[in-house]
Structure formats: C-alpha cells, structure tokens
C-alpha cells in the first residue's frame, strides 16, 4: 500500500513545494520593490530639483512623503490584511503602488511628484505586511519558515542599500524618471502572479471589523511623529514648532491607547502586548534599524563630503555591505535552527557596534580598502544576522489570524526606527564640525546598536 501511495504523495509534496517557492518569490519581489523606493531617489534629488524647478526646502519631500505614508499606515495595513484577506490587500497595494509609480515618472510639477510619492508609500504600507503575512501562513513555524524568512530578510535588508547604488546609476544614465517607470512593468507582472498563484481569500467572520477610531488615532499619531522627526532635523529639537508636533503626536497616541482599552475589537489586542517575543523583537528592531539606516545615511555623506567620492563611486562603495548582508541573511534562517534568535541578534548588533567604532576613527585621507571596507563588511555581516532573526522573533507563536498584525507591527517599527535614527544622528552631525562631527555621529550610532544588543539579550528568553 505504501508503495502504491508513494508516487501520489510525492507529487503532492512537489506541488506544495512549487507553490511555496512561488509565494516566496512573489513576497520577496514585492518587498524588494517597496524597499528599493525608500532610497532610490536620494542621489537623484539634485536632478529632480533642477528639472522640475523644486525649491531646496521642498525637494526633501520627495523622500519624506514616501516614508511618512509608509510608516504611518503599516499598522493599519497589517490589520486590514487579517480582516480583509492577504491576497486582496496585496493586490490593492500593488495596484496603488504601480499606478503611483507611473504618475511619479510622468510628473511635470514638484507637487504632483510629491503626491505620487505619498501614494507609493500608502501602497507600500499595504504590500509589506501582506507579503510577510503570506509567508507566515504558507510555511510551517520552525525550520521551514526560518529558511523562507532568511531569504525574505536578505532581500528586504539589502533593498535600501541597493536603492542607493541604483539611484546613482539611474541618475547618471537614463535619468531619474526611470527610477519610477521601472516599477510599472514589474508591478504588472507581480499583480498577474498574485492573481494566478494565490488562492482566493477565505470569507471572514462578520464580527471581524476594523477599529476605525483606533486606526485613525494611531495612524494620525504615527504620521505626526514621523513628521516631527523630520521637522526636528531642520528646525531643531527644542524649537517651539518641533515640540508642538511631538506633543500632538503624544496626544494622538495617548488617545489610541485609551480607545484600545475600551474597544470590543481593538486594532492591537492586549494579547499582542503580552507576547514577550513579539515585544522584544519590536524593541530590538527599533534600535537595530535606527542604527543601520543612520549608518547608510552618514556613510554616504562621509564619502561625498569628506572623502571626495562622486555619486556613482558612493553607490558602488556600498556593494560590499549589500553583498555581505544578502549572503549572511540568506543563511541566518538556517542558523536559527541551531542558534537562538537571542544569540543571533546579540552577535549581529555587536558586530554592527564594532563597525561603528572602526568608522569613528577614519582619517581625513582615508583609504577605502583599509579604512572603510572592513567596517562595511562587518556592518553587512552584523545586520544580515539581524533582519531575518527579527522577523522570526516577531512571528514566533503568533496565530494565523494575527499574522498580519504582527507583520504590520514589525514593519512599522522598522520604518519608525529608521526615521528616528536618521533624524537623531543628523542632529549629532550638525552639532559637530567637519570630520570630528562624523566621528561623534558614528559613536552615537554605535551606542544605538549596543543598546539593541542589550535589548535582544535581555528581552528574548534563552530558548527563543
């Protein structure tokens, strides 16, 4: 009997494996598209400013609008994924992102481009948690899911640095509009794959509904907080306008907490806040992503302002970090089977701290091979261990009905941490002068990474 049934079972397993690979490929591609667009216009900003006649004070909104809407709506996007269906939300997000990319590429006015970037961020806020949630329900918790999250984390982790490289090459080649036009055919292919490869969403319970009051206050609070961070980097942390924005964000978040306590269907159930692993993953992610994205921001400025690198040279210099991070993250999921998330995160953030200590000593005539490359490799190795480990920690022990929420939480923490880290490090840099200011700022990033290591070691249980 076992011999007769064996071929049937093998065929079923092969079909299941093929479907899992398709879902993993789709999830990775969508994550890469969202992640790339965070940084893909950074080096091209001078060209955008010149072509569209955007003022120096306004051109930053081409970057800020994307991050603002992405960070503000990720939590709501995650909850909508649980309530309305992963496939449905993924398709909605891909459709919005693709249409907004076409609008951005065709923009003839700065206001249109900024609006399109905001719509891209909103689409990304739907896509990112839906993609991560798809992996959580497609792969079984343990070795199988860890390996999938290793690949997913590798793609998501390097997307930002690849975006910096691509930004320089596109600006010097076909022009900045192609940073957006390239998303259109890619988005259409991903929509077609999602329609054909993903099963229709199961009908949802009528009792499952979106907490509108909670969603409004938390989204408003997060949007206000992210804006306050950017405002502080240009107007100062102690200015009256900056303090007013932070107070407004605090009031909205406080209102959200009060609403959640009374809501029969809260956006963030109390059980999520009692989930030690989920809380530890989010706190660690806040510090880890804050440190790493600040490192990319500061490293790019160091190379161009102090070491005389061109935009193309700066982009190519990041390949060392990008490749190392991708390779490390790809195998980190497998390592999680033999090592705890706690140990992987502690090791990764310690390596990132060491990289910042190295960069805090770069001389004025620093050489790439001897003064930058060792730190770039260490940072790629350290952060490569962190990205999949954080996602594994955030999804461990989470029920299928709350996988979207957990995905939205970790993605929100990632974006908020990155924005807060860059804003804080910008202030440290401005307070210093010349190369000494960069040295001090790298020390500050090292402190962030060190605090992340401590949080991971104390927050996760030894057996996590």
Print burial letters for 90-128: b (CB count within 10 Å at least 16), e (below 16).
bbbbbbbbbbbbebbbebeebeebbbbbbbbbbbbbbbb
pLDDT at 5 over 50: no
Element (H, E) at 335: helix 319-335
Non-local (6+) Cβ contacts of 213 within 8 A are 259, 263
- CB–CB of 160/39 below 8 Å? yes
- Whether the Cβ atoms of residue 353 and residue 450 lie closer than 8 Å to each other: yes
Alpha-carbon span 389 to 285, nearest angstrom? 10
Residue 376 has pLDDT above 90, yes or no: yes
| Pair of tokens at residue 329 | 């993250």
How far apart are alpha carbons 372 and 400 in whole angstroms? 44
Print the SS3 string covering 125-149.
HHHHHHHHHHHHHHCCCCHHHHHHH
At residue 211, the pLDDT reads 67
Give me the pLDDT at residue 441, please: 92
Residue 65's Cα: distance from chain center in Å?
A: 15
**Average pLDDT value for residue range 82-87:** 83
Which range of 69-73, 106-110, 220-224 scores highest in mean pLDDT? It is 106-110
Q: How far is CA 204 from the centre of its chain?
A: 29
What's the whole-number mean pLDDT along residues 59-71? Answer: 78
Contacts of residue 103, Cβ cutoff 8 Å, sequence gap at least 6: 112, 115, 116, 119
**Residue 14 pLDDT > 70, yes or no?**
no
Give the distance from CA 440 to its chain's centroid: 26
Q: What residues contact residue 454 under an 8 Å CB cut-off, 6+ apart?
A: none
SS3 content of the chain, % helix, strand, coil (to 5): 85, 0, 15
Q: Is 239 left (phi over 0), alpha (psi -120 to 50) or beta?
A: beta
> For 279-330, what is each residue's pLDDT tens digit?
888 889 989 988 998 898 888 888 878 888 877 787 788 888 888 988 888 8
- Tens-place pLDDT, residues 328-373: 888 877 776 677 888 889 999 999 999 999 999 999 888 899 999 9
Q: What is the mean pLDDT of the chain?
A: 82
Cα separation, 344 vs 337, in Å, equals 11
Q: Does the pLDDT at position 206 exceed 50?
A: no
pLDDT value of residue 355 = 96
Query: What is the pLDDT, as a whole number, of residue 7?
Result: 47
Whole-prediction pTM: 0.77
Residue 248 CB-half CA count within 13 A: 16
Most confident of 52-66, 226-240, 392-406: 226-240
DSSP-assigned letter for residue 417: H
Torsion of Cα atoms, 59 then 163 then 107 then 111, to 10°: -30
Mean pLDDT confidence for 175-199: 89
């Amino acid at each position: 009997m076992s011999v007769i049934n064996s071929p049937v079972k093998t065929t079923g397993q092969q079909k299941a494996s093929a479907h899992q690979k398709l879902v993993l490929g789709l999830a990775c591609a969508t994550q890469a598209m969202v992640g790339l667009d965070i940084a893909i216009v950074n080096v091209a900003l001078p060209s955008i400013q010149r072509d569209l006649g955007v003022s120096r004070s306004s051109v930053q909104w081409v970057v800020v609008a994307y991050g603002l809407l992405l960070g503000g709506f990720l939590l709501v996007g995650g909850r909508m994924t649980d309530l309305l269906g992963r496939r449905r939300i993924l398709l909605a997000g891909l459709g919005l992102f693709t249409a907004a990319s076409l609008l951005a590429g065709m923009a003839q006015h700065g206001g249109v481009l900024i609006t399109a970037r905001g719509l891209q961020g909103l689409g990304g806020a739907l896509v990112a948690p839906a993609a991560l949630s798809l992996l959580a329900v497609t792969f079984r918790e343990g070795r199988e899911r860890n390996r999938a999250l290793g690949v997913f984390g590798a793609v998501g982790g390097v997307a930002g640095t690849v975006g910096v490289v691509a930004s320089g090459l596109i600006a010097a080649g076909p022009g900045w509009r192609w940073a957006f036009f390239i998303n259109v055919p890619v988005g259409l292919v991903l929509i077609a794959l999602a329609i054909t490869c993903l099963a229709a969403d199961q009908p949802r319970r009528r009792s499952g509904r979106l907490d509108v009051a909670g969603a409004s206050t938390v989204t408003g609070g997060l949007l206000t907080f992210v804006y306050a961070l950017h405002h502080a980097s240009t107007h100062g942390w102690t200015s009256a306008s900056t303090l007013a924005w932070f107070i407004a964000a605090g009031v909205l978040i406080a209102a959200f907490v009060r609403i959640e306590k009374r809501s029969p269907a809260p956006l963030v159930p109390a059980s999520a806040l009692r989930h030690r692993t989920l809380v530890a993953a989010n706190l660690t992610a806040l510090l880890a992503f804050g440190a790493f994205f600040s490192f990319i921001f500061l490293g790019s400025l160091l190379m161009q302002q102090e070491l005389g690198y061109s935009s193309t040279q700066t982009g190519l210099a990041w390949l060392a970090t990008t490749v190392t991070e991708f390779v490390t993250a790809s195998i980190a999921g497998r390592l999680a089977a033999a090592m705890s998330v706690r140990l992987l995160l502690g090791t990764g953030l310690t390596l990132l701290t060491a990289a910042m200590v190295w960069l805090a000593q770069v001389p004025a005539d620093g050489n790439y091979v001897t003064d930058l490359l060792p730190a770039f490799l260490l940072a790629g190795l350290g952060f490569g261990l962190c990205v999949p480990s954080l996602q594994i920690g955030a999804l461990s022990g989470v029920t299928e009905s709350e996988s979207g929420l957990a995905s939205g939480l970790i993605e929100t923490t990632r974006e908020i941490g990155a924005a807060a880290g860059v804003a804080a490090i910008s202030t440290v840099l401005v307070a210093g002068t010349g190369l000494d200011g960069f040295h001090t700022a790298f020390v500050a990033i090292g402190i962030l990474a060190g605090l992340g290591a401590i949080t991971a070691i104390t927050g996760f249980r030894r057996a996590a």
